[in-house]
Every structure is written in structure tokens, then in C-alpha cells.
Amino acid sequence: MRLKLQSTVLITSDFTKMKMFYENVLNQEIEFDFGNCIGYKCGISIWELKPEYHISKSLGYTYREEGNPNIEICFETDNFAEAVAEIKKHNTKLLHDITEEPWGQKTIRLYDPDNNLIEIGETIKSFVLRFYNSGMTAEDIVKRTSVSLELVNNCIDDK
């Protein structure tokens, strides 16, 4: 059996608010819009769960407001500072401000309107080049980040 992940669906009780967040704060582009279900090109969909749907009836229509504490939705960007500045314009609820992870990637974590945890981080290429441009050798970057030497060299060669 071969299965292909189609989408991650975020079920929401405030469809309009979630739609505005993903489009205006995270700048996601719509791939399809069925009115109460929107799929974004990034692979996330938001779905307004209505009481008459079979999933609602099966779940007892128990929508939870607090998000899922066991899931983090991760986005990466080559323009980390620009992304952070844009996010901060919208006064979003942050878990933490910019931090550098133990492997060297800069991240910021925030919540969407349904309190789902969102991570915005640098791409591997971005943080490898940040270290390289600071004077580190490829071997030093491998030790610092655990990124393979082959990938580090590809990032450096492709700059």
C-alpha cells in the first residue's frame, strides 16, 4: 500500500479568523477554496467543522479551543528577519521570541488564532551560510550544526 500525505487539516470554529491569519500573517497562498474548506499551497488546509458532518457526529462535535499541544506546524524561510518583522506587525501571541536552537537554526514560535503552535525558522541553507559568512569552515559548521559535510558544501557552493 502506498499512501501520500495530501494535507494537514486544521479544524476551526472561527474559520474567518484562521483564514485571515494564514493569509495575512503567514502570507500563505490559496490552492483551493470550497467555502468552508481552504487548502493552501504549503499543504495546510483549514476546515470549518459543522455539526451536520459525519466527523462531527462521530466526535460528538467536541471542538477544542486550546489547539493540540502535541503538534507544531513548521515553516522555513531564507528571509528570516523579514518574516519575523512581518509577524510582529500583527501582534501575534508568541511562545518565544527569536532564539537559536542547539543546532544553530534561528527560530521564533507563535500561536495561530486556535492556539496551534507555529514555528518559523531559517532554512538549513540560511543558517549554514550565516555560519560560513562569519568565518567558520565547512568542518566547523558540521560540528556546530550536525548538518552533513556534503549538504554544507552544497549550500556553500550554491550561494
Q: For 83-98, how does the pLDDT look when each residue is reduced to its tens digit (9 = 90+)?
A: 999 999 998 999 999 9
Q: Identify the bridge partners of residue 118 per DSSP, sorted by sequence position.
A: 73, 110
**Which among 155, 158, 96, 153 has a CA at the least distance from the CA of 127?**
155
CATH for the 8-122 domain, from 3.30.930.10, 3.10.180.10, 3.40.1190.20, 3.40.50.12160: 3.10.180.10
pTM score, two decimals? 0.86
Task: Read off the C-alpha cell for 108.
Answer: 521564533
Residues 6+ apart with CB under 8 A from 74: 118, 119, 121
The span from the CA of 122 to the CA of 133, in Å, is 15
Tens digits of residue pLDDT in 114-140: 889 999 999 999 999 999 999 999 999
> Looking at beta carbons, which pairs linking 131-134 to residues 24 or more positions away fall under 8 Å?
131/104, 132/156, 132/159
Q: What is the mean pLDDT of the chain?
A: 90
